[in-house]
A and B are shown apart, each in its own frame.
Chain A
């Protein structure tokens, strides 16, 4: 079972709909966590949402409790939530991407995805990861093809994955395939 933690976003149910293609999904608000279901789940997903990671201490607590024990996936705010817990700094960016389709590139040979592959994705973010960023076992594996901003992180050792873009958006090419690959990794 996949447990999706909703940060009150208007895209969360696209994420639910997408993950439901591959497994049973339970989705609860971040302040209404069902401990029993959370414990039983195999995968935890942190949804997109408004605001910044520091606004969601409960989600940070869940990340720290289950890191290394369950597969963890973060999308947009969820991606930033993981980075925030790994001591990364999340900052405002000059150019704001809300409803924006742009090209990104796989930049690492250690990624589950083929290096140098480019594809179009949907983006909704006003904040970004401040670099340089380093955390044990984590690697930035995808970047914006133009601005070079970090677009994905992978930690294949502890099964933690994050995307700054939205794999569930209609603006993202092959979003379903991407999630399928992460889930079967």
Chain B
């Protein structure tokens, strides 16, 4: 058990640390002996060497951190033009020397008085959103993409106490892939619900989410399932993602082993229902960590489909860097096992600037106003933390 005030002391010490959701609570990683800042030139080497630590048994024999969106594009041979926005590192990984278990309830209260800035600026207003939306609809009609996710970004200037924000966020929006990173000049806070890779020995699974329904008094889990099944638009979006993830897994899995383990089920969260599938397979022999990452990332459900042509359309359209948004956070153990999520529902705070990115999908029957508002709802839960 950890001592009372441990978190407070750690947070006040300015030592970098990471918290990641575990099955029953959280895992805390700190005392980092290495910090690797990723670039286009060192990423492959880093991934290949991450499994070459001599010791493979200790709980801290791993590298934990994140890949940003841009570097994941680069990794699969897609160029991204220089963009506006924060010049934030493309990826950072740490080698921890300490791992501790934290309970479900993070007992932390911020005592220092921080006055946050409540006012957020949005980078795409409603009318320019509509213009992009209509442009992408044309691309769907001509077959260049089947589904594409438009990203909008809310930003402000604020100094934040990341641990305070994270504790409050998980109190109201606990999610199976929640995490936070705090380092000297930046922090990331996320209540991501979406797992992209769990790899254990030769078993690999991915759990895409496509379809979200806000809870209300009349709904329950059974009714939510009926809603998703009857809603043709949600079903089509979901089907596409399932076939795409099957295809990504098929690149690295044994013939005939890729299976849908849970097909189109509903998972319940505090404020919403998600439409989820679980797909898994058995890895072929001699598949490396790099092969796995290249096959699966960036995660398809937050990009659109088909991946390559849709990424090219997005990169041509988007003026601002996505930074960590739709990248992946997680760890690679030295024995080759790994766990990675998709970074969504996140705040990046870097040198006193906060950004919250959100996206929602355009398929042929989506409606611009509805999707724009959906984006706002997704961002609001995070912006509320600044109150």
A10's partner among B144, B237, B238, B248 (CB-CB below 8 A) is B248
A11 to B186, CA, bound (A): 38
Q: Are A98 and B240 within 8 A (Cβ)? A: yes
B143 adjacent to A51 (CB under 8 Å): yes
Give, as a whole number of angstroms, the nearest-CB distance from A7 to chain B: 9
Q: 1/0 per residue A99-141: CB within 8 Å of B? A: 1110000000000000000000010111100000000000000
Task: Say whether B141 contacts A98, CB under 8 Å.
Answer: no
Whether A122 lies near B239 (C-beta < 8 A) is yes
Q: Give residues of chain B (246-288) contacting chain A, Cβ–Cβ below 8 Å.
A: 246-248, 250-251, 253, 255-256, 258, 260, 263
- The contact of A17 among B144, B146, B258, by CB within 8 Å, is B258
- B250 A96 Cβ-Cβ under 8 A: no
Given the known interface contacts A21-B256, A99-B235, A170-B243, the answer about A127 and B251 at a Cβ–Cβ threshold of 8 Å is no
Complex Cα spacing A173 to B263, Å = 15
Measured CA separation A149–B307 after assembly (Å):
27
Residue numbers in B under 8 Å from A99 (CB-CB):
146-147, 235-240, 243, 363
B147: chain A residues at CB < 8 Å are 98-99
Is B142 part of the contact surface with A, judged by Cβ < 8 Å? yes
A99, A100, A122, most chain B CB atoms within 10 A:
A99
B183-204 contacts to A, CB under 8 A, are none
**Does A171 sit within 8 A of B, measured CB to CB?**
yes
Is A67 engaged at the interface, CB distance under 8 Å to the other chain? no
Give chain A residues whose Cβ lies under 8 Å from the Cβ of B305.
10
Residue of A nearest to B263 (CB): A170
Q: Tell me which residues across on chain B come within 8 A of A77, comparing CB atoms.
A: 143
Closest-by-CB residue of B relative to A25 is B255
- Cβ of B318 to closest chain A Cβ, rounded Å: 19
Scan residues 299-333 of chain B and give those whose CB is less than 8 A from a CB of chain A: 300, 305-309
Annotate A5-26 by CB proximity to B: 1 below 8 A, 0 otherwise: 0001111111011001100000
Q: Is the CB of B143 within 8 A of A126?
A: yes
CA distance A127 to B246 in the complex (A): 24
Cβ of A170 and Cβ of B242 under 8 Å apart?
A: yes
Interchain CB contact under 8 A, A98 and B364: yes
Given A14-B247, A17-B250, residue A98 in contact with residue B142 (CB < 8 A): no
A residues in contact with B263, CB < 8 Å: 170
- Residues of chain B with a CB closer than 8 A to A171's CB: 239, 243
Contact between B247 and A13, CB atoms less than 8 A apart: yes
Question: Which residues of chain A are near B242, meaning CB under 8 Å?
Answer: 170
Contact B247 A10 (CB under 8 A): yes
CB contacts (< 8 Å) of A52 on chain B: these are 142-143
Q: A49 to chain B: closest CB distance in Å?
A: 7
Q: Is the CB of A98 within 8 A of B363?
A: yes
Contact indicator per residue, chain A 156-183, by CB within 8 Å of chain B (1) or not (0): 0000000000100111000000000000
Whole-angstrom CA separation of A125 from B307 in the bound complex:
16
Asked if residues A20 and B363 are in contact (CB atoms below 8 Å), the reply is no
**Is the CB of B244 closer than 8 A to any CB of chain A?**
yes
Residue among B237, B242, B260 facing the most chain A CB atoms (10 A cut-off): B242
For chain A, residues 22 to 59, give those with C-beta under 8 angstroms from any C-beta of chain B: 49-52
Is B140 within 8 A of A98, CB to CB? yes
Would B247 and A96 count as touching, CB distance under 8 A? no
Evaluate contact between A96 and B140: CB separation under 8 angstroms: yes
| Highest count of chain B CB atoms <10 Å: which of A8, A17, A20, A92 | A17
* 8 Å CB contact of B244 from A10, A20, A21, A127: A10
A13 to chain B minimum Cβ distance, whole angstroms, is 4
Check if B145 is an interface residue, CB within 8 A of chain A: yes
CB pair B237 A20 closer than 8 Å:
no
Contact (A16, B250) CB under 8 Å given A11-B243, A98-B236, A99-B238: yes
Query: Are B243 and A14 in contact, with the CB atoms below 8 A?
Result: yes
Assembly CA distance A169 to B246 (angstroms) = 9
Q: Considering the chains assembled together, what is the distance between the CA atoms of A101 and B238 in angstroms?
A: 12
- Known A-B contacts A49-B306, A50-B306; A96 and B141 likewise in contact (beta carbons under 8 Å): yes
Which of B143, B246, B253, B307 makes the CB contact (< 8 A) with A170? Answer: B246
| Chain B stretch 125-161: residues in CB contact (< 8 A) with chain A | 140-147
| 4 closest cross-chain pairs (CB), A and B | A99-B236, A99-B239, A10-B306, A13-B250
Q: Given known contacts A11-B247, A49-B306, A98-B146, what 9 new A-B pairs fall within 8 Å (CB)?
A: A8-B308, A10-B244, A10-B247, A10-B248, A21-B256, A50-B146, A51-B144, A99-B237, A122-B243
A to B CB contacts below 8 Å, 14 in the list? A10-B247, A10-B305, A13-B247, A13-B248, A17-B247, A17-B255, A17-B256, A20-B256, A50-B146, A52-B142, A98-B364, A99-B147, A124-B243, A126-B141
